[in-house]
Structure 1
């Protein structure tokens, strides 16, 4: 570099260091694992080298992350909820010693005890990525008070990134954050892993010894009440009375979590509902299925399973809830139905079954939309762009 030449903004970024801070221990799994890979790729886009990326977790008791390259060792153990001054001072020293200027944190609220020390140590750009709603929505005087409260915090994030518009509203219409400090970055999916593939057309049928003419409806996720597994089970009761060529495949149950939902099923429906537990071959099972279902009755947003299913070519029947409604184009890549309505879910199932050509048109549209807008590459590009804007 010639003496006296000013660095371009791009060159300045490539000389920066970023700390990616997690609120959960390493190797937590679930949807966080895909986010970890996305954040890592974003970091590489921003600072060019793994040596300039630093990873912070509250605990490494489950082992070191597997996504960095061999030999990588820029790890720091710290809980974002830490209040001990000595521990916070150690974090600040790590930031200062490693010339870290960018902090990208998971679910970081308006204020935590470590913020002031991190800023003083050299953090210039602080981004908080939210995978959950921040607050219920407010209005009137209550929202005004929330905005006044939010304006008090000067050391916190410069930008809050949310996974859906509904989540974003929980920030500026719920918690009172300035809307200009919020943004949306939808989740992304590996479109090569989750894809239609005719060779797996009967993969699930053969796995579960089902007649190949059976139409399979797929769900995967937690088995807590708000996820609507009970709604699917009760809809299965209705469908089982009408036809025997439909099977519901429900995945994600562990231990005895399926028991309350098995108890809901009629004798006929018990033969048409399979609780499959946890599996590592769901992308192959998708390819055998006719459609996907997400029947949540409580808060739910733009879920990873929703784009995985659609990337695999499954039309989606989804509760008309918050961010969930953003996952499809109603009537084109699936159908919305009122949360908790067993009757409406049953009708939508029958609507899909009534016309295979309509179902196939929806399948093609769903796949195309995911490829164009919700690939993992698009997610990383959007994240990089949003962080760049804060620098």
Structure 2
């Protein structure tokens, strides 16, 4: 029976999107090697504690940094692989070359898969791309396959970093469609939570509050919308400390009454069910985000910036709308378009939910990952 080492580039219990991926990778590992005893988990640090997703009594933990360059530590890592008869290495964001690769291969790694949650490179062409391809061809000990979360990310591998396209694949993120689902019992959950009139149309965002994520664009669009309607509220989640302050400063006095910065919450799936639509207004690189499929699984049409992999999250005009990145005017027009037709909104809601259930469930993600790794066993 094969044994797998799942290697992370970040410390344990990092949270955010990593937390859901850890559980997905664990389920993939069980599909591949049948028993928790055949799965080994490697993190550069356990200072935040042991992961909680393995079953009780599990103890196949290894502390090792993928950036380690010390020959002694690399030799210890290789010995662990050999002693435990590990043949599959599934690593997070592993590039073409790192110091430990050669030793890991010599210790018995037969299938080396690198899962990428970010773009590898900006896109290149012409002579620069040829040089990138020549450079990439030099590395023979690295991953056999690079798995990306979107087509845009995949292109960053073969049209950016110069990896052979045949060594790349796409596996979209998946969501728990049982947790994220429409539920009429929560129709007014957010309204009651924030003491809002029940006829208010709620627009939802959750994510980081860095400039790249476009919270400013949503705030500017809110300024436009509230001049026309008083029955619209924007619920924005993910801010911590004083991160919302720059965006509060953008709001007009009227808009401040119709925009709520909700911080971090653990009941966002219930808040979804009260909302009219979702918004992701990123202005810089963004890809196939977890929040995009969570919202759609909950039945929210999605208005998103026409950017890289982010545009892959919806079918424009069917499960939501694309708009020009950075344009609060275009965003406000798309919002107004949805508000003008409840029947169109409801049709989009149903389509979004059905599409996610059919193709973007967590089960579909685990199945696709398992299939991709199996190619190398």
The TM-score bracket by the shorter chain reads over 0.9
Give, in whole Å, the separation in 2 of the partners of 1:330 and 1:16: 43
Cross-structure match for 1:56 = 42
Asked whether 1:389 is paired with 2:339, we answer no
Cross-structure match for 1:212 = 198
SS of match in other structure, 2:322: strand
Give, in whole Å, the separation in 2 of the partners of 1:304 and 1:185: 13
5 Å-filtered alignment, 1:142-153, equals 142-153=128-139
How big is the shift at 1:28? 0.4
Cross-structure match for 2:283 = 297
Give, in whole Å, the separation in 1 of the partners of 2:67 and 2:167: 23
Cross-structure match for 2:76 = 90
Instruction: Specify every segment of 5 or more residues in structure 2 that has no aligned partner in the other structure, as ranges.
Output: none
Asked whether 1:286 is paired with 2:294, we answer no
Give, in whole Å, the separation in 2 of the partners of 1:185 and 1:254: 31
Q: How many residues align?
A: 377
- 1:193 aligned residue (179, 184, 187): 179
Asked whether 1:266 is paired with 2:252, we answer yes
SS of match in other structure, 1:390: coil
SS of match in other structure, 1:23: coil
Q: TM-score, normalised by structure 1?
A: 0.96
Asked whether 1:351 is paired with 2:337, we answer yes
Cross-structure match for 1:81 = 67
Give, in whole Å, the separation in 1 of the partners of 2:191 and 2:154: 40
Give, in whole Å, the separation in 2 of the partners of 1:242 and 1:153: 59
Give, in whole Å, the separation in 2 of the partners of 1:89 and 1:41: 29
Give, in whole Å, the separation in 2 of the partners of 1:244 and 1:155: 61
Instruction: Specify every segment of 5 or more residues in structure 1 that has no aligned partner in the other structure, as ranges.
Output: 1-14
Cross-structure match for 2:155 = 169
Q: Deviations over 1:175-229 (max 9, x none)?
A: 0000000000000000000000000000000000000000000000000000000
How big is the shift at 1:99? 0.2
Give, in whole Å, the separation in 1 of the partners of 2:376 and 2:133: 21
5 Å-filtered alignment, 1:115-264, equals 115-264=101-250
Give, in whole Å, the separation in 2 of the partners of 1:390 and 1:173: 24
SS of match in other structure, 1:242: coil
SS of match in other structure, 1:133: coil
How big is the shift at 1:262? 0.1
Q: Deviations over 1:1-26 (max 9, x none)?
A: xxxxxxxxxxxxxx010000000000
Cross-structure match for 1:33 = 19
RMSD: 0.3
- 1:105 aligned residue (91, 104, 111): 91
How big is the shift at 1:144? 0.2
How big is the shift at 1:390? 1.8
Cross-structure match for 1:11 = none
Q: TM-score, normalised by structure 2?
A: 1.00
Moved beyond 2 Å, runs of 4+: none
Give, in whole Å, the separation in 2 of the partners of 1:87 and 1:300: 36
